Amino acid sequence: MKTSKGEHVFLAVNYVFLALFGISALVPLINILAVSLSDSSAIISGKVSIWPIGWNIEAYRQLIEGTRIIYALKNSIIITVVGVALSMLFTILAAYPLSRNTFYGRRFFTLAIVFTMLFGGGLIPSFLVIKELGLINSYAAIWLPSLVSAFNMMIMRTFFLNIPSELEDAARMDGCGEYRMLLQIFLPLSLPVLATLTLFYSVGYWNQFLTVLLYINDAKKYNLTVLVQNMVANQQLLQQINTFQAEDSVSMTPEAIKAGAVVILLLPLMIVYPFLQKYFVKGALVGAVKG
């Protein structure tokens, strides 16, 4: 089918707009990376834009030697890996029965879960529940409230509903039970939505901030997000970092140290995303076709 001149103009304008929008989002990240790798004098004089001036990695060395950023990175990885594993497990176990026509009360439980997307208990009741359960100062206080996202569960449920019923009928004729049906039929066909929800949960757990401040009292258990926020907001902490530098090292500006911390915070997700990106659009769209 031949496209009209108006359609060509629309596509051209659309591509230009999306390109400018992408550049506007990318330039600040490039600038932060350039600042973290630049010389202090160039940063103070405001010469750094998108390319480092006076290449050095002193800011990263001071971060590693003068702060608990490695321990915070380890804590973030533990929170994210364990949290994503638990959330995906319980999301699958919730979505599968709600997608089966044979499940009694399926409509009631689905509406009850959707209700939680509209109304919540609030911050204070949630804190009191976590306190009464004895989960304060443990990562379980982070994992439990975020265990199942109703939105993500509905996406997976809808994806399961789109799987042809003929596959299920054929599997049942071969004597396939519910657990084997889920493990050998549904999950292998659900890689796009599994990758998409893994990315959703990963971003959520990696960026946990308020829940860590509320429930974690031990600074040694802080994740990377909280540590970086403290560094950005606390000028005194940045000055203390410089006291840990060696005699022959170069003094770095607070801007370079803050930029390095932000880069370390963003880097893991930027590395993981390209591997899941090819499943992202397909998983999100197919899981939202029908309800």
Give the integer Cα–Cα distance in Å for 265 and 161.
37
Q: How confident is the model at residue 289 (pLDDT cuts 50, 70, 90)?
A: very low
pLDDT at 290: 46
pLDDT digits (tens, 9 = 90+) for 56-108: 888 888 888 777 888 999 999 999 999 999 999 999 999 999 988 888 888 89
**pTM of the model as a whole:** 0.83
DSSP 183: I
pLDDT at 246: 47
In our burial notation (b when 16+ CB lie closer than 10 A, e otherwise), range 212-227 reads: bebbbeeeebbbbbbb
Lowest mean pLDDT of 93-102, 229-238, 266-275, name the range.
229-238
Give the integer Cα–Cα distance in Å for 74 and 69.
9
Section 193-213 average pLDDT: 90
The owner of tokens 């990696």 is: 206
Mean pLDDT of the chain: 82
pLDDT at 201: 93
Nearest to 207 by CA among 24, 29, 83: 83
pLDDT at 235: 60
